[in-house]
Structure 1
Amino acid sequence: MSVGFDFGTTNSLVSVVVGDRVIDVMDVETGRPHPSVVRYEGEEVIVGREAKDALGAAGIGVHGNTVKSPKFLLGEEVIAVGGVDRSPVDIVSDVVRYVRTESLRSPQRNVLGDLDNAVVTIPVIMNGLRRAALREAFAGAGMNVVQFVHEPLAALYGFIRGAKDPEEMARRLARRNVLVVDWGGGTLDLTLCRVDDNQIRQLRNGGSDQVGGDEFDKVILDEVVTRFRAREGVSESDLASPEAQLRLLQDAERNKIELSADRVAVTFYRPSYFQSGGTLQYQLTRQELEEITRPLVSAGIAEIKSLLASLSMAPGQVSLVVVVGGMAAMPVIRSRLHELFGPDRVEVPPNSATLISQGAAWIAHDRARLRLAKPIELELARGSRMPLLLAGTEMPMGGEVKSERVHLFCADPTDGIAKFPIATPTRLAAHPQASAHRTSLGIVTIKVDDTAPPLHERLELEVVLDDDLVLSLRASSSRRQDEATSQYYDLEFGLGLPNGADPRVDQDPKESDEVGVRLAPGLVVRANVTRDKDLSAVPGDVLYKHNTSAFARHLENRPDGATQSQVLERLYYQPCSVCGRVWGHPQCRCGTVGNGKR
């Protein structure tokens, strides 16, 4: 069987569905998720609560032996921990292994099976390299990642499936926009979704790794020390030792949580905090906490506004805001969300701290499979588009890869570069209209033979979808034998709810109108690849260079003759035959366009 596994920046836990309810497998001693903290003492590896508790009492050098929030280290080759070079993959494996072992010792062990398969949640901003490293870390701990799922998407799935009446909840949210705000210890993850036809589809993802709870803790620590120094006249040269700072950082996290609950003031107290032996003692009020953290909260709210602005959507078009993650407990964050969306549309579920893991567990239980929410398209010459992947395409599961090869031609090799603009419709639509707005994913470019005639150089584009939810493209040219690769991980997905309709069903166009964008004018890349040997795809100026006879008047309206668009394109780049100025020059008064002198 598969379970849900939320490997968080600050905490991790496993959840499993039994019958019609979800069970969270917590730390037996505290009843809370396992801290994502690792401490190395010689050959001994200490993980979780014991490693975190040791931070508050250990002596000199413990900071160098302890790793907090190892998730952020994924993607690095090696880091030094206590003077020993360690792989971040191995460090993460230690955390996963510990959570797995402790879960199999828990009272819920009888319903967990072997705990060797899991649906694992990831931040939306986690890149492909880090996803691959996380998969490797799970494998090192004896667990197979069945499927990665974005954390906010898992939270919304769990919000609906875990409701007392899931069908009623799905009807309540039908044809509505739902924003999930996952404000955790490491990242702020945002997903704007639409619930339609018993399925959840992402419209746009966003977020930041600069405003997570860990950043709040650092800011609180710095400000408390600064204010204490100013009040007591402690010199800046009287530094604190690294281990003392680490202990105070733990205090900052704990006091932040207490002030977010029912306390109106807390006291920071650390004897011998300074190298001179001086004690740090400072009372922090909730009002001061909000003042200190206001810039971080404002930066997070700005990320939310930016996400909505990217879709030209007003806050009033969001019907529900589901807030999860540890930072959801901060009153100031809730207050700012209420100001933006209205208190009636902001919901912090009572299980917000575990909803992501629960959602992953429901996805595992329902065997729900991620699908592309929008098609992926290649822009061709003359503004046409070729679907590379259709909306509703199933994403590969653990160990699977999907691959396609597309054969193309270069319609305009003049500058020696073939351009492959990759885009996706901004609106939800399985079969978008040609006029529908697109969001650019990027452009792949390769070198081509600039001396070759149009449509002579063959191009190949390989399209690969892997189980890390990454789209990889590899383009190559036949004559120049150049190749280039590119990866895209910022994709949108959909999940069908149980007994839902076919996820590939198109959206009601009247509904999709709510999710449009306004495009600013600017420069665009002129795509120069085409699927067929179609002479009309060649720009007029390029065609004239290689085949002047195509512009002969007797070939007008014939397959081997230039089209009217190509004639105009060729004229556009020709100077005025009278004054020599370029096309459209304001001082050209020769009237030559109409009489054919250009």
Structure 2
Amino acid sequence: MNERIFGLDFGTTNSLAAFVADGEVRALTDNDEKPLPSVVWYRGSETVVGRTARAHIDSLDGGGTPGFVRSPKMMLRRDGPVHIDGRALDAADIVSEVLAHVRSQAELLHGHRIDRAVLTVPVDFAGPERRALRIAARKAGISVVHFVHEPAAALYAYLRNQLNYQHQLALLENKAVLVFDWGGGTVDLSICRVLGGVVKQIANRGNDNVGGDHFDERLRNHIRDKHSEHYGIFDLFSREQPGAAATLLSQCELAKIELSVHDRYTVLARDYIVGNQRERNLSVDVTRNDLEALSHDLVRKGLEEIDIVLEQARLDRHDIELCLATGGMVNMPIIWNGLIERFGARVPKLVNRDRIIAEGAAWIAHDQLGLQLSKPLEILVAGDQGRGEWLPLVDAEFSLPVENETAAATNRRFYCTDPRDGQAVFEFGKPRKVGLVQPKDERETVALLTMPVDQTARPLLERLECKVQIDHDYVAKVTVASGTEGRAVEKEIHSLDFGLALPQPNER
């Protein structure tokens, strides 16, 4: 890989690209030194993307101006078209507009054509979402070299910035690391372990009901109420100027950011409503205490996610060796203090928390890191004494393919033990934990496949060939064929777990 392969963090609220040149990582922000909003505006025959589109969103009275799309990333989970302003659009087409905009801005700043990227994804993005995202990227002129989980990218960026990388890596071997990412759309948590030089996720949580956008909306409602109360206005919504709601929401986002540093901020919106000269201009003072009181329950719920994910991993707070706090919301003192109360000095203060995921992806591209399965893909077979036994089909160390490749993962031969009902049932699974797996450990079934067999044949006569291929979207295709009857059936498995293979000593 080289410096023209960039890292791309396609976020729910904002997106950001980064690249490495001359040993330094550079985030490709816009003219305001901020990430690019993931917003699309279909304005007639014109498509507007990014900050200009965000500035014109009018969410008046809880609705939205036709033609605007916020958080298109979540649309990749939907089946069927997305209806925007009377038009049926494919989600991949909408997402491609954002990715193309990020790419064009990156090329302007970088000075070179950029058409390959390491693209980060949430840990709960399965095969269908990754496929849809690759299609969107291709439409934007971007070839995806790798998909990398966002927490793994954040952790690698942190490690890459350490003076003694190998020493820090050794300290984290088999230790639990919590990546706590609170952004505008969601709060996402992932507990990782570094096992044998591979970053693996062992537990994940997400909550899209406490993202930073909810804080902005509450602050906007509070400011509306204050302005209405001051001037005795009882029909403020009906008197808001077109676009005024969006302007006020942007001002509230800015106020939230400023109140992380200052105790007081004045929210201004000129010509906010139709009215006389005194009441038409909005000017309301808000304090940090106001914001914290308005959002107290959101903060509590977001921080409670920590205890939930720890319980899921069967850990407690003392088991966390390092807590990486990323995302803009962590700048709020009440949230930051909540993390310090739980983990103390194990929460380093990151200066690049709004860029760390994109920068991690850029370093992964630059250092030519690969991905491996973090859990084996297994098959349940008949064992001794009539008990089922899980056997690995694809080992956890299997290296995943890069762009435009498909890897033959395994080709195993089995025999039908009981053909009397005319069917052979194949059950595929994976361990619920990472690391060394014992036969008694709990498994999660990921797919069932039924193969017709000759029910007149005697046991152990019909030979069944099982072949597994894994593509560049980390989707496994399982094919079972009868060596005697000539039949074959296929099944796709979309929920493989994968981790980031870190460079070994002397590789950097």
TM-score by length of 1: 0.72
99, 103, 107: which is aligned to 2:106?
103
Contact 1:63 1:246 in 2 (8 A): no
- Give me the whole-angstrom Cα distance separating, in 1, the residues matched to 2:419 and 2:239: 64
Q: Report whether the alignment pairs 1:345 with 2:346.
A: yes
Residue identity matched to 1:494: L
- Give me the whole-angstrom Cα distance separating, in 2, the residues matched to 1:296 and 1:14: 29
Q: Cα offset for 1:12?
A: 2.0
Q: Report whether the alignment pairs 1:466 with 2:471.
A: yes
Contact 1:21 1:162 in 2 (8 A): no
Q: Report whether the alignment pairs 1:393 with 2:395.
A: no
- Give me the whole-angstrom Cα distance separating, in 2, the residues matched to 1:88 and 1:328: 30
> 1:255 matched to which residue of 2?
255
317, 320, 341: which is aligned to 1:318?
320
Task: Please give the per-residue CA displacement for 1:348-407, whole angstroms capped at 9, x wherever unaligned.
Answer: 311111111111111111100011123222232313111021021101111112244544
Contact 1:374 1:424 in 2 (8 A): yes
Q: Cα offset for 1:182?
A: 1.9
> 1:579 matched to which residue of 2?
none
Q: Cα gap change, 1:43/1:377 in structure 2, threshold over 3 Å: closer, same or farther? A: same
> 2:70 matched to which residue of 1?
68
Q: Cα gap change, 1:482/1:227 in structure 2, threshold over 3 Å: closer, same or farther? A: farther
- Structure 1 SS opposite 2:369: coil
1:160-175 equivalence runs, <5 A = 160-175=159-174
1:137-156 equivalence runs, <5 A = 137-156=136-155
> 1:380 matched to which residue of 2?
381
Q: Cα gap change, 1:292/1:443 in structure 2, threshold over 3 Å: closer, same or farther? A: farther
Q: Cα gap change, 1:328/1:386 in structure 2, threshold over 3 Å: closer, same or farther? A: same
> 1:5 matched to which residue of 2?
8
Task: Please give the per-residue CA displacement for 1:254-277, whole angstroms capped at 9, x wherever unaligned.
Answer: 222222232434436575558999
Q: Report whether the alignment pairs 1:489 with 2:495.
A: yes
> 1:190 matched to which residue of 2?
189
1:142-541 equivalence runs, <5 A = 142-222=141-221, 225=224, 234=234, 243-267=243-267, 269=269, 271-273=271-273, 283-340=285-342, 342-381=343-382, 382-403=387-408, 404-409=410-415, 411=417, 418=425, 420-424=427-431, 426-429=433-436, 432-435=437-440, 437-444=441-448, 446=450, 461-473=466-478, 485-489=491-495, 491-499=497-505
- Give me the whole-angstrom Cα distance separating, in 1, the residues matched to 2:490 and 2:229: 57
Contact 1:411 1:454 in 2 (8 A): yes
Q: Cα gap change, 1:483/1:298 in structure 2, threshold over 3 Å: closer, same or farther? A: farther
Task: Please give the per-residue CA displacement for 1:323-357, whole angstroms capped at 9, x wherever unaligned.
Answer: 112222122222222233x2211123111111111
Structure (1 or 2) with the greater strand fraction: 2
> 1:116 matched to which residue of 2?
115
Task: Please give the per-residue CA displacement for 1:293-347, whole angstroms capped at 9, x wherever unaligned.
Answer: 333333333333222212211110111101112222122222222233x221112
86, 91, 94: which is aligned to 1:88?
91
Contact 2:185 2:213 in 1 (8 A): yes
Residue identity matched to 2:118: V
- Give me the whole-angstrom Cα distance separating, in 2, the residues matched to 1:24 and 1:84: 35
- Give me the whole-angstrom Cα distance separating, in 2, the residues matched to 1:224 and 1:397: 50
Q: Cα gap change, 1:486/1:498 in structure 2, threshold over 3 Å: closer, same or farther? A: same
More moved, 271-280 vs 413-422: 271-280
Contact 1:157 1:359 in 2 (8 A): yes
> 2:54 matched to which residue of 1?
52
- Give me the whole-angstrom Cα distance separating, in 2, the residues matched to 1:462 and 1:220: 56
- Give me the whole-angstrom Cα distance separating, in 2, the residues matched to 1:483 and 1:188: 41
Q: Cα offset for 1:230?
A: 7.9
Contact 1:151 1:182 in 2 (8 A): no
Q: Which runs of 5+ in 2 are unaligned?
A: none
- Give me the whole-angstrom Cα distance separating, in 1, the residues matched to 2:493 and 2:284: 49
- Structure 1 SS opposite 2:354: coil
Q: Cα offset for 1:455?
A: 5.4
40, 43, 60: which is aligned to 1:41?
43
Q: Cα offset for 1:147?
A: 0.4
> 1:131 matched to which residue of 2?
130
Q: Cα gap change, 1:470/1:57 in structure 2, threshold over 3 Å: closer, same or farther? A: closer
Q: Cα gap change, 1:57/1:129 in structure 2, threshold over 3 Å: closer, same or farther? A: closer
The structure with the larger Rg is 1
Residue identity matched to 1:99: V
Q: Cα offset for 1:155?
A: 0.7
Q: Cα gap change, 1:457/1:185 in structure 2, threshold over 3 Å: closer, same or farther? A: farther
Q: Cα gap change, 1:115/1:456 in structure 2, threshold over 3 Å: closer, same or farther? A: same
Contact 1:448 1:457 in 2 (8 A): no
- Give me the whole-angstrom Cα distance separating, in 1, the residues matched to 2:424 and 2:229: 61
> 1:529 matched to which residue of 2?
none
Contact 1:248 1:270 in 2 (8 A): no
TM-score by length of 2: 0.83
- Give me the whole-angstrom Cα distance separating, in 1, the residues matched to 2:476 and 2:13: 29
Q: Cα offset for 1:483?
A: 5.5
Which one has more relative contact order, counting CA pairs under 8 Å at least 6 apart?
2
Number of aligned positions between the proteins: 490
- Give me the whole-angstrom Cα distance separating, in 2, the residues matched to 1:388 and 1:219: 51
1:578-589 equivalence runs, <5 A = none
- Give me the whole-angstrom Cα distance separating, in 2, the residues matched to 1:451 and 1:135: 43
- Give me the whole-angstrom Cα distance separating, in 2, the residues matched to 1:335 and 1:142: 43
Q: Cα gap change, 1:321/1:83 in structure 2, threshold over 3 Å: closer, same or farther? A: same
Q: Cα gap change, 1:344/1:297 in structure 2, threshold over 3 Å: closer, same or farther? A: same
Contact 2:241 2:273 in 1 (8 A): yes
Contact 2:378 2:391 in 1 (8 A): yes
Q: Cα offset for 1:228?
A: 6.7
Q: Which runs of 5+ in 1 are unaligned?
A: 502-598
RMSD: 3.7
- Structure 2 SS opposite 1:295: helix
- Give me the whole-angstrom Cα distance separating, in 2, the residues matched to 1:413 and 1:244: 71
- Give me the whole-angstrom Cα distance separating, in 1, the residues matched to 2:404 and 2:7: 18
- Give me the whole-angstrom Cα distance separating, in 2, the residues matched to 1:457 and 1:222: 70
Q: Cα gap change, 1:283/1:476 in structure 2, threshold over 3 Å: closer, same or farther? A: farther
Q: Cα gap change, 1:90/1:488 in structure 2, threshold over 3 Å: closer, same or farther? A: closer
